[in-house]
């Protein structure tokens, strides 16, 4: 499950004209697209921690944390937490480097098998444990055949949605649930102080792995961009529906698709363009080009074709407005062209989506969920707000610098500062004011 480590935020843009202005506008428009899923993930974890006591009790620990912090000495607890976090960090580094090596060697089947196995464990085994504890907490009776049927349908649909294809909202919902479930697993099986130490250490690792020239996550992102391949959907949350489709096509194919879509004024034009791509029709395409040039359809004529079509459509539309009784044939063509332009613009907007690593969802939720486990709503809300502020600043820097950035350091740093400041400074101050009947 450590495969859900951290994939940095990525941004893909279509045009590079007015980069800074478009980037700022783009970031402002899409902030809400990340605030909603991140907030939902954290709310699911907080609600679970406060209603199901199973995830708040410490009875079993992970293999990566051999020191269980059973002593009452704070110095020994601190030493145990640092040792556990370093061991877990070494394991994460090894797994990340292994993932990069497999990706560099194009061992896609091994990576997909790895991710499918991790998703299978989360969607079937840990989801069943979650359902069992949920039913026990709310005292809801359910027989085993019904529970197994529900888990089978839920798990199979999740595997299809994450690793194959499904509606975007369904895939996003499963990714949010998987991240929340993984966060609950960390809260349940990590020792008390180790959880805070892991959050601090993973933020530093995230900074190094993304921003260093030879950082493994930076190498992964750059390699995926060079190969024009999508990062595996089980590792990343995408706010756009066209991400997988666009990433699976080469630049040549994209240009071909763009050219064919721009020349769809008649079915015969698109079919002739498609036939010219076939090797067997090379001589026929050359003859067609020569015949077109002889008939006056030169290269200059083809280049200015779109401008002439747009000018004629404007004239026809104006004429139709002046004479409503005129035949609707031209208006149909104009409406179709306008609809095509609108759809292409919408597709361009969808291409420019934000991608946030699933690991970011997990560790955001771990921080807020751990704060809520103490039963202090002031601290929980402070951590929640701090993480959103940090994410907003990260997106602002992303729009300015226009390159992959780590999403954990700012948000986790703000969250830790707000958490301990609220717990050790704000709460005692508020309790003292309440005891003295002082109202501000």
User: Quick check: 218 and 153 in contact, CB under 8 A?
Assistant: no
Q: What are the start-end ranges of the E strands in 126-229?
A: none
Cα-flanking dihedrals φ and ψ of residue 340, to 5°?
Answer: -65, -40
Residue length of the chain: 440
Task: Indicate if 72 belongs to the active site.
Answer: no
Query: DSSP alpha helices (H): ranges in 241-328?
Result: 243-247, 251-262, 267-276, 282-294, 299-303, 305-322
Cα-flanking dihedrals φ and ψ of residue 343, to 5°?
Answer: -65, -40
Strand partners, 9: 405
Burial label for 432, CB within 10 Å (0-12, 13-18, 19+), is exposed
User: Quick check: 60 and 184 in contact, CB under 8 A?
Assistant: no
- Adjacency order of strands within the sheet including 354-357: 10-11, 354-357, 236-238
Which letter does DSSP use for residue 304 in this model?
Answer: T
Tokens of 18: 């007015």
Report d(CA 15, CA 17) in Å as an integer.
Answer: 6
Q: Is 437 left (phi over 0), alpha (psi -120 to 50) or beta?
A: left
Q: Give the torsion sign (CA, 264, 266, 267, 270).
A: negative
Report d(CA 374, CA 187) in Å as an integer.
Answer: 12
Report d(CA 218, CA 209) in Å as an integer.
Answer: 6
Cα-flanking dihedrals φ and ψ of residue 354, to 5°?
Answer: -105, 135
Task: Indicate if 360 belongs to the active site.
Answer: yes
Report d(CA 408, CA 405) in Å as an integer.
Answer: 9
Tokens of 147: 């529970």
- For residue 357, the tally of other CB atoms under 10 A from its CB is 26
Q: Residue 206's Cα: distance from chain center in Å?
A: 16
Q: Which helix (H) or strand (E) holds 355?
A: strand 354-357
Choosing from 72, 143, 206, 376, which is the catalytic residue? 206
- Measure Cα distances from 70 to 74, 129, 191, 375 in Å: 10, 26, 9, 22
Choosing from 18, 143, 360, 376, which is the catalytic residue? 360
Largest CA distance in the chain: 97
Report d(CA 384, CA 342) in Å as an integer.
Answer: 38
What residues act catalytically? Answer: 206, 360
């Amino acid at each position: 499950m450590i495969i859900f480590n951290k994939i940095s935020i990525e941004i893909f843009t279509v045009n590079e004209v007015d980069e800074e202005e478009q980037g700022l506008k783009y970031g402002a428009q899409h902030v809400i697209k990340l605030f909603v899923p991140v907030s939902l993930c954290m709310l699911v974890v907080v609600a679970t921690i406060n209603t199901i006591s199973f995830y708040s009790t410490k009875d079993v620990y992970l293999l990566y944390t051999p020191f269980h912090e059973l002593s009452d000495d704070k110095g020994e607890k601190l030493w145990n937490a640092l040792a556990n976090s370093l061991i877990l960090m070494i394991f994460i580094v090894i797994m990340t480097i292994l993932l990069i090596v497999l990706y560099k060697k194009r061992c896609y089947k091994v990576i997909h098998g790895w991710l499918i196995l991790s998703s299978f464990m989360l969607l079937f085994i840990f989801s069943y444990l979650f359902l069992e504890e949920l039913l026990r907490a709310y005292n809801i009776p359910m027989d085993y055949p019904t529970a197994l049927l529900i888990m089978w349908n839920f798990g199979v649909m999740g595997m299809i949605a994450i690793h194959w294809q499904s509606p975007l909202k369904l895939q996003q919902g499963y990714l949010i649930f998987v991240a929340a479930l993984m966060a609950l697993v960390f809260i349940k099986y990590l020792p008390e102080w180790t959880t805070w130490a892991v959050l601090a250490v993973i933020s530093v690792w995230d900074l190094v792995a993304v921003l260093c020239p030879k950082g493994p996550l930076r190498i992964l992102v750059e390699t995926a961009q060079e190969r024009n391949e999508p990062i595996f959907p089980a590792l990343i949350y995408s706010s756009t529906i066209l991400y997988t489709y666009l990433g699976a096509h080469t630049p040549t194919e994209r240009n071909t698709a763009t050219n064919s879509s721009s020349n769809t004024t008649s079915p015969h034009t698109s079919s002739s363009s498609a036939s010219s791509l076939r090797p067997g029709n090379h001589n026929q395409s050359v003859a067609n080009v020569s015949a077109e040039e002889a008939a006056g359809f030169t290269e200059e004529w083809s280049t200015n074709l779109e401008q002439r079509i747009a000018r004629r459509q404007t004239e026809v539309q104006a004429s139709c407005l002046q004479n409503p009784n005129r035949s609707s044939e031209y208006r149909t063509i104009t409406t179709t062209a306008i609809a095509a332009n609108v759809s292409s613009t919408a597709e361009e907007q969808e291409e420019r989506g934000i991608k946030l690593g699933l690991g970011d969802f997990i560790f955001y939720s771990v921080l807020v969920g751990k704060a809520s486990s103490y039963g202090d709503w002031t601290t929980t809300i402070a951590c929640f707000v701090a993480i959103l502020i940090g994410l907003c600043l990260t997106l602002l820097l992303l729009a300015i610098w226009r390159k992959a950035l780590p999403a954990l350091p700012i948000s986790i740093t703000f969250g830790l500062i707000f958490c301990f400041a609220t717990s050790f400074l704000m709460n005692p101050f508020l309790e003292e004011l309440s005891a003295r009947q002082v109202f501000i």
